Amino acid sequence: MEALAVRLSGLDPYVDGAIRIVAFYDTLMRRRVDLPALARASAALAECVAGIRLHGTGRTIRFSPGGTGAADPPAPASSTMPVSLDEEEFGTVWLERPDGPLQLDEVLLERLALAVAAVVERYGPAPTTLADPALVELVISSRSEEPARARALRLLGFAPDRPVRVVAVRSRLPLDRIGALICPGRPVKAAPLGDVGAILATTVDPDRFPAGVRAGIGAAGSPDRCWQEARTALRFTGPREPVRHHADLGALALLAEIPEAVARENADVAAIARLVGDPEDLETLDAYCATGSLRRAADLLHLHHSSVARRVEQIGRALGIDLTAPAGLTRARLALGVWRLLDH
């Protein structure tokens, strides 16, 4: 192999330079250097400032050619290269060359990016959003002991002194994409657990969930209780409220404690279940229960309020409930909520 390299380098000065760069980084990796050492060596090789940034932690490392930390503010990057692992970008490397990029800068940055990915994978938590389901389950299981839970959190990249929010998700979209959207630029991990996806994040932006996703967000301080709350909140989601916070459910969360057999035997819930065969009636009842007003329900359904009034009257007769009375509307709301829990 070395003989071939020597022959190639004799044919083309560019090849000679590229081979020397590859050998340079191979030597660094055999010495098991860390990220600052990689940035320092790269700056010396390139004879300009070299930088490394990890998106998840916000960590930035910059060194000057003299081997010292580069002064702020940073100069514009003359060339950059993304750092990826398992096809997910998690960082960037760059050079700050005042007179613009040189011919071999792309080769140098490519090798630097590969070296950074190898160092982070070897010594740090996996930077990708998708995580080992076993680790995630260890964090959120009520049967886990606290030392094991704390160790799993550290392995996933979460600081022990920072709270972790838990989200239960149902979606056809990839979990890693959802996690990156709702918690950009901060630690976030996701894993499928049976029929539900679990997302662990330091913060959650509920407005960033993409369309078509159902999500329940827990509120408890401990991850195991937060997961249970997230699962409960997920059961209360629907077309009009695809994302629910457990903290916003209040006393409604008690409905989730009703045994399934008892709920199905309830006359009001059974009557709601019979409406499933008529999606138009079910949608009308849902809009009316959500608004408590014929006119506001008509606005949601894009119908005249008199048409909605006729539908509500017919639905009330089918249910055996006077939906125009406050008590009847409360019964319908509770029955619809319990039916949704059973449907989930």
In a domain, 128, yes or no: no
Helix (H), strand (E), coil (C) string for 240-263: CCCEEEHHHHHHHHHHHHCCHHHH
Domain end call among 96, 123, 150: 123
Pair (263, 235) in one structural domain: no
Pair (153, 109) in one structural domain: no
Domain count, the chain: 3
Please tell me the predicted confidence (pLDDT) of residue 12.
58
The model's pLDDT over 169-221, given as tens digits with 9 standing for 90+, comes to 998 888 888 988 888 767 788 889 888 999 998 888 889 999 989 999 998 88
Please tell me the predicted confidence (pLDDT) of residue 5.
42
- H or E segment to which residue 17 belongs: helix 13-30
User: What is the percentage of the chain residues whose pLDDT exceeds 70?
Assistant: 91
Domain end call among 71, 90, 123: 123
Residue with tokens 């390299």: 5
Domain end call among 232, 254, 276: 254
Pair (249, 263) in one structural domain: no
- Which letter, b or e, does each residue of 197-227 get, where b requires 16 or more Cβ atoms within 10 Å of its Cβ? bbbbbeebeeeebeeebbbbbbbbebbbbbb
Rounded mean pLDDT of the chain? Answer: 85
Task: With cut-offs at 50, 70 and 90, classify the pLDDT of residue 344.
Answer: low
Pair (16, 109) in one structural domain: yes
The domain of 12 spans: 2-123
Pair (82, 193) in one structural domain: no
Does residue 18 surpass a pLDDT of 80? yes
Comparing 6-10, 11-15, 72-76, the range with the smallest average pLDDT is 6-10
In a domain, 115, yes or no: yes
The pairing of beta strand 88-96 with beta strand 165-170: unpaired
Please state, in angstroms and rounded to a whole number, the distance separating the CA atoms of residues 4 and 214.
57
Please tell me the predicted confidence (pLDDT) of residue 295.
87
Pair (29, 111) in one structural domain: yes
